[in-house]
Structure 1
């Protein structure tokens, strides 16, 4: 056996045998036929894996999706404009202008296609390089595995297989239709039975700078504003906001093109500042929690006038009854606003109702008026979000980093409550800071750790 293929261990054992050997050491040689573990190869694998993690991020993986979605919307808009031009009968009065607009749109589409091609080529190159590196890592790890005499890696792989099987079983169970919720038949929708998606998922133009915010569509838009989207970020300490950003379409909000900003005030915080991430747009007005009060603010987007209506004086505000779960509290979420087929609501808690949820209908007059209120037994701190569908309140709770669960409902027509719902929402980020239903498209609009997401609500058809 060659010297390079064995370990030599020098073991020093102090012995006290007799007067003649006192103070002397006995030295033994222990030889092993096993090869030395190649630590440098393992370190190289770790370095390569770290580089792959840095090169392949979730932001990069969603970039092509955003570009393709934007391109689809631009092409759809172009088809509409061309169709409109073909139907025009104005003696060529506006034909030149319309053709110029179409020419500009074609240029924008070409720019998006060029950007998509560049991004695709870069990703193909990155994919090829990564595949080679992964193959090298796989071969190296297979070589290193022969040093695993205790078969630790083999047992870990077996555990992973068992966990995958358990996850598959869990998915099968969750894919079955859950117990129907209270039927809001008076809207003609039937019972909500599932939430699918996400349907869209994107970072805003602000990137990951602002983790608290809200977005969506006007639930009762003015004629011509049906395709507009709005976005509010809490730019002051994740608590306050003072302007609304509007976009002309889904593609423009995803790509961050051509926003229009409307300021409520010139700075934060002031009397009319937005407080907390929960707000809705209805009838060209934004409804939100007024700064430092237990009042509802109504901001008219056209006149920029603010009107208010007070909630009961024991209503929670300034972080008294926020949404929460065991690991976190969603700051300044005392008041949650919701829209559905019947109008606008504010969801909050009061001390007189022991911190349990209250629902108040907000009449959208100027100034707004609280017309009706319902009391529930749901403690507000046990929920992470609420939304309304057809007069039924739904509450969600945090299950884990990947799943949010709709577990509760309250029907304002019958005052009946249920705690046995089990409708799961697949999360793209850990925390959902904002959630609201829009009756015009049956979508849930979600703001989740700086990402804007939509989900589709599935209803059971009314017989």
Structure 2
């Protein structure tokens, strides 16, 4: 006769996650007079939901949001001061010019008043300089914290129910957008040199700024690119684009109205590149609402305008398909855009694999001029253009890249430098400079990553960029 059926559930005292994972059945013959007993033990998984990790991310998001509110308040204060002091400087300039023209019309008291006003302006300048340094340090620290948040949230989403993590990810998106807005305001106030080439070159690259995993939520999509239009059409100045795939092929592209929608994966346009338009190489860019990219049949350059949906292609007879970047095959042509226009780099058999820089005429899609460099393309991970200067990048170690070489197309001079910067993941397939915000955009093992650049604005640009060791 079968006796009482009962269940013994071994429950953890902490918050357990998941359904009952294992049932075991057994028969006990030794019950004291109670007959046979059938026991079933229910075991819950040994892993528990890491609520502490989630709470830590939420707390970090709150702290970052508070810091950014303070930074925005500082900038609003400086904006007011700058307006007032700009008016003072104009008035001072007029007063000083009048004093120089007619010194006898002014007494010692007038001169003392003018000196006081000059000192007030000098004090504000010093205050702003300290603020720039302080805010930059704050932003770098916040980017490190946000990167850690990204890693934690991605780990939790892969392991646990995404709906549970969603509320915290919303907090992350909020602080990410706050930081983006704060940096934009800071840049507008303290960096009026966007679009200017009155500098002597790059002197520093920031820590990697990691947005998130690609829009496909697929870590297998290691090939691709993302960024902003380097010459945006009206009303699309805030637009971002993304394309990714599991191989080097370019099969589609998505457009997002702004950074927020990029983070939320909410695209407003999606183009599939059908069989006649599919490209390769992962060295493509968007410029003037046009995709510039490499094709293999025939081997050459292609462009697809998304406004007119017009396709065009060109062949450069001397360009070789044998020489690619070190990271991956088929990166034979590399498009780039800077303050001076559109470029493409490649290697030829005549150059024995050394990189050639070509300036592209955008309306005709033809090559205007070429420059021969001495850097061997298979020894380069990627390259980009800034103000007519080619910068080449190579790997230093498992975590570090280095801008190691430049070539100036204006002077035809070249040299080796060392400006190291950090990668987020081991390999990347796309690295491009955007002149609209002076940032580097990297597609790093499926993640959106970007970098701030610092330039030497301390003196007028000379004919030869300096050798900078950082």
TM-score by length of 2: 0.57
Q: How do residues 237-386 of structure 1 correspond to structure 2 at under 5 angstroms?
A: 237-265=246-274, 270-313=275-318, 315-317=319-321, 320-324=322-326, 329-365=327-363, 367-386=364-383
SS for the counterpart of 2:312 is strand
Partner of 1:193: 203
Partner of 2:176: none
Q: How do residues 38-437 of structure 1 correspond to structure 2 at under 5 angstroms?
A: 118-119=167-168, 187-207=197-217, 208-233=219-244, 235=245, 237-265=246-274, 270-313=275-318, 315-317=319-321, 320-324=322-326, 329-365=327-363, 367-419=364-416, 421-437=417-433
Listed one character per residue, the Cα deviations across residues 332-371 of structure 1 (whole Å, up to 9, x for unaligned) are 1111111100111111101111010011111111x41111
RMSD: 3.5
Partner of 1:455: 451
Q: Offset of 1:191 from its aligned partner?
A: 2.1
Q: Offset of 1:228 from its aligned partner?
A: 0.2
Q: Offset of 1:257 from its aligned partner?
A: 1.7
- For residues 170 and 336 of structure 2, the distance between their equivalents in structure 1, rounded to whole angstroms, comes to 43
Q: Does the CA contact (< 8 Å) of 2:210 and 2:424 recur in 1?
A: no
Question: Is the alpha carbon distance of 1:373 and 1:63 closer, same or farther for their aligned partners in structure 2, counting shifts above 3 Å?
Answer: farther
Q: Offset of 1:229 from its aligned partner?
A: 0.5
Listed one character per residue, the Cα deviations across residues 55-77 of structure 1 (whole Å, up to 9, x for unaligned) are 979xx979987xx89xx9xxx9x
Question: Is the alpha carbon distance of 1:115 and 1:322 closer, same or farther for their aligned partners in structure 2, counting shifts above 3 Å?
Answer: same
Question: Is the alpha carbon distance of 1:430 and 1:224 closer, same or farther for their aligned partners in structure 2, counting shifts above 3 Å?
Answer: same
Question: Is the alpha carbon distance of 1:64 and 1:200 closer, same or farther for their aligned partners in structure 2, counting shifts above 3 Å?
Answer: farther
Q: Does the CA contact (< 8 Å) of 1:264 and 1:299 recur in 2?
A: no
Question: Is the alpha carbon distance of 1:436 and 1:64 closer, same or farther for their aligned partners in structure 2, counting shifts above 3 Å?
Answer: farther
Question: Is the alpha carbon distance of 1:121 and 1:204 closer, same or farther for their aligned partners in structure 2, counting shifts above 3 Å?
Answer: closer
SS for the counterpart of 2:378 is helix
Q: Offset of 1:461 from its aligned partner?
A: 1.0
SS for the counterpart of 1:251 is helix
Deviant stretches of 4+, over 6 Å: 50-53, 60-65, 114-117, 120-123
Partner of 1:5: none
Q: Offset of 1:264 from its aligned partner?
A: 2.8
Q: Offset of 1:118 from its aligned partner?
A: 3.8
- For residues 382 and 436 of structure 1, the distance between their equivalents in structure 2, rounded to whole angstroms, comes to 18
Q: Does the CA contact (< 8 Å) of 1:64 and 1:116 recur in 2?
A: no
Q: Does the CA contact (< 8 Å) of 2:58 and 2:168 recur in 1?
A: no
